[in-house]
Structure 1
Amino acid sequence: MIGGGRIGEALIAGLVEAGFAPKDLVVAEKSPTRAAEIAKEFGVATRSIADSVEGADVIVVAVKPSDVDAVVTQIAAGEIDGEQEQIIVSLAAGIPTSRFEPKLPAGMAVVRVMPNTPMLVGEAMSVMSPGRHARPEHLDVVRKILGTVGKVAEVPESQIDAVTAVSGSGPAYFFLVAEAMIDAAVGLGLTRATATELVNQTMTGAAAMLDRSGETPTELRAAVTSPGGTTAAAVSELERNGLRAAFLDALDAAKKRSVDLGRAHE
C-alpha cells in the first residue's frame, strides 16, 4: 500500500478485518509519524516504496494525483518483475492506466479504480477498469481486495469519468440533500438535533431498502406516494423546481470536470 491516507488506511482496515494477515501487508508512507500510526494500529510493516514493492503480489497506489509520477518512478526503481504477475492497482483520481504502463516492465497489469469515501465505513462503491495487460484473473484478485470494504463493479476505462460523476462524487450529493432537509426541518420548527436525527436515520433506512428490497427506486417511491397525500405534495414541488434536470446538469458537469482534470495530469 503506497500512501497511508484515509482511503489507504480504510483499505488496510478492511483487509485485516477480512482475515488478511498483517504480516502480508506492507505500507509505504512518506510521513514517518503517519507510518508509525498505521504500523501501531494494524501491526503492518512500513518500508520505503522501493523496498515495499519487492516481492509484492499487489501494489496499491493510494496517493494524490500530483504525486503519481514520482511514485511510479520509485516503483520502477524497485525490485519488480513483470513476469511475477504483480498487479498495480491505482486509486489515484484522474490518472489513466496509460500513465503507468510505459514506465513499468512490459506486460505488467495495471487496474484503475474509482473508489468513494464510504470505504471509510466499509460501504464503498468501487469501480475498476482494466489496463491493456490486465486479465480476468488479475481483476478477480482486485475484486477480492476491494470487496473487503464494499461492493465492486467493472467498466471500460472510457466510462470512468462517468463513474466519477455518479459514485465517486455521489456521496456529496446525498450529504447536500441531507443538509438541505435538515435546514428545511429547522425552518418548520424542529430543533436542529431532532431534525438531524430524523434525516440521518431516514436516509439510512431508505438506503437499506434500496439495497435489500429488490425493488427499483421508482417502485419504492411510488409505494410511499399516496395520491393526493403529503408525499405527493412534496414530490410535486421537487419536480416543479427541476430536481431531475438539476441532477442531470450536475452529473454532466462532474463528468466534464473529471475529463479536464485527467487531461491536466497528462
Structure 2
Amino acid sequence: MSLSGTSDKTSDSPDVFQIQIGFIGAGNMAFGVAQGIIATGKVPPGNIIISAPSMNNLPRFKEKGVSVTHSNHEVVQASHLIFLAVKPHIIPQVLNEISQNVTKEHIIVSMAAGITIATLEELLPAGTRVIRIMPNLPCMLLEGALLLSCGSHAGQQEETLLKTLLGPCGLVEFGPESWIDAHVGLSGSGVAFVYVFAEALADGAVKMGMPSALARRIAAQTILGAGVLLRDSGKLPAELKAEVCTPGGTTIHGIHALEKGGFRAAAIGAVEAASERARELGNKQKKN
C-alpha cells in the first residue's frame, strides 16, 4: 500500500505535517472537519482526499484544494488517517468494501452515530486502531463540539494526533464510549433544539409587535452572545441566570412562564430521547 507523504518515522508515529488524510463520505460533517484540519496549517489540502458516489457535494472540497474521487479504495490506499463520514446504516457496507485494504498502519475514525467501537473493530482487521468521534453541525463554522473515544488498539498517541488536527473545529474532548450517546443528544441533536428555541423566541417577539426578520436576527445574536458568555466566563448557567434576574423584574417573570410550561423538563427529555435513539441505532446495528 502506498502511503506517500507520511513521515520517515514509523507509521505508529506519523508527522502531522505530512500525514495523508482520507474521508469516505462528503456531507456537512466531513466538510466541517476537513475545514478544521486545513485551518491548523499543518496539513496541506493536497494531503486530503475524499470520496463520494456522486459529484453533488464534491465541488466545495475541490475549491479548498482537496483531492476528490468516487473510489473508496483509492482513499484507503492513499491515506493513513481515514474518517468514515457516511450514514450509520452504510457503515457495514463500506467496511466490507475496504477492510481487505486496511492495515495496522491505518487509523480509522468513525463519525457515525450509534455504531459502537466493538462493531467497528469486529468489521475491520484484527488490531485496527479505531476512534469514534461525534462532531456537530457548527464544526462547519469551526465552532463545533466534538467528543472522541478510543478503541482497544488506540491510545494517547492517537488522541494527541486527533486533538492537534481537530482543535480548530471547536471544543474537542475525550471520554469513554459510554458518553458518546449522551453527546449525540446534548450536542449533535442539541443544535436543532437550540434552533427550535430561537424560533420560539423570535415568534414571541413577533407576537409582541416586532417585525419577523428583525426578531430572528436579534434571537440569533442573543443566543450567540449568551453562548460565548457561558463558554468564556467560567460561571455556571445558574450564576449567569441570577445576574440577569433582578427581584420582581422582567426576566424572572419570563423564567416563571418557562417553568410553568415545563421548559426544563422538556429540554432534559429531548436530550434523553435523542440519546436513547442513538443507543437504539447501535443495538439495532449489533443485531444486524
Query: Shorter-normalised TM-score: what interval?
Result: over 0.9
* 1:184 aligned to which of 191, 197, 204: 204
Runs of 4+ deviating beyond 3 Å: 32-35
Equivalent residue for 1:53? 76
- Partner Cα separation in structure 2 for residue 96 and residue 107 of structure 1: 16
**1:221 and 2:241 correspond:** yes
* 2:138 aligned to which of 114, 118, 122: 118
SS in 2 for 1:219: helix
Report if aligned partners of 1:4, 1:38 keep a CA contact under 8 Å in 2. Answer: no
**1:10 and 2:32 correspond:** yes
- Partner Cα separation in structure 2 for residue 250 and residue 43 of structure 1: 39
Q: Which moved more, 1:138-147 or 1:204-213?
A: 138-147
Report if aligned partners of 1:50, 1:77 keep a CA contact under 8 Å in 2. Answer: no
Offset at residue 152 of structure 1 (A): 0.8
What TM-score do the two structures reach when normalised by structure 1? Answer: 0.93
**1:248 and 2:248 correspond:** no
- Partner Cα separation in structure 2 for residue 255 and residue 32 of structure 1: 33
- Partner Cα separation in structure 2 for residue 130 and residue 220 of structure 1: 35
- Partner Cα separation in structure 2 for residue 211 and residue 219 of structure 1: 13
Report if aligned partners of 2:92, 2:123 keep a CA contact under 8 Å in 1. Answer: no
Report if aligned partners of 1:89, 1:112 keep a CA contact under 8 Å in 2. Answer: yes
Offset at residue 57 of structure 1 (A): 2.0
Q: Partner amino acid for 2:223?
A: M
**1:152 and 2:172 correspond:** yes
Post-superposition CA distance 1:77-102 (Å, at most 9, x none): 32x321x2x21000011111122212
Report if aligned partners of 2:86, 2:111 keep a CA contact under 8 Å in 1. Answer: yes
Report if aligned partners of 1:10, 1:119 keep a CA contact under 8 Å in 2. Answer: yes
SS in 2 for 1:107: coil
CA RMSD of aligned residues (A): 1.5
Post-superposition CA distance 1:117-161 (Å, at most 9, x none): 111111110111111211111111122222221111112112211
- Partner Cα separation in structure 2 for residue 38 and residue 197 of structure 1: 27
Post-superposition CA distance 1:24-76 (Å, at most 9, x none): 111122214543x1453122222421122125221110001121111112221
**1:27 and 2:50 correspond:** yes
Offset at residue 242 of structure 1 (A): 2.0
- Gap runs ≥5 in structure 2: 1-22
After superposition, where does 1:83-232 map in structure 2 within 5 Å? 84=105, 86-232=106-252
Equivalent residue for 2:253? 233
Identity %: 37
Offset at residue 103 of structure 1 (A): 2.9
What TM-score do the two structures reach when normalised by structure 2? Answer: 0.86
Give the helix-richer structure, 1 or 2. Answer: 1
**1:76 and 2:96 correspond:** no
- Gap runs ≥5 in structure 1: none
Report if aligned partners of 1:6, 1:120 keep a CA contact under 8 Å in 2. Answer: yes
Q: Which moved more, 1:249-258 or 1:162-171?
A: 249-258
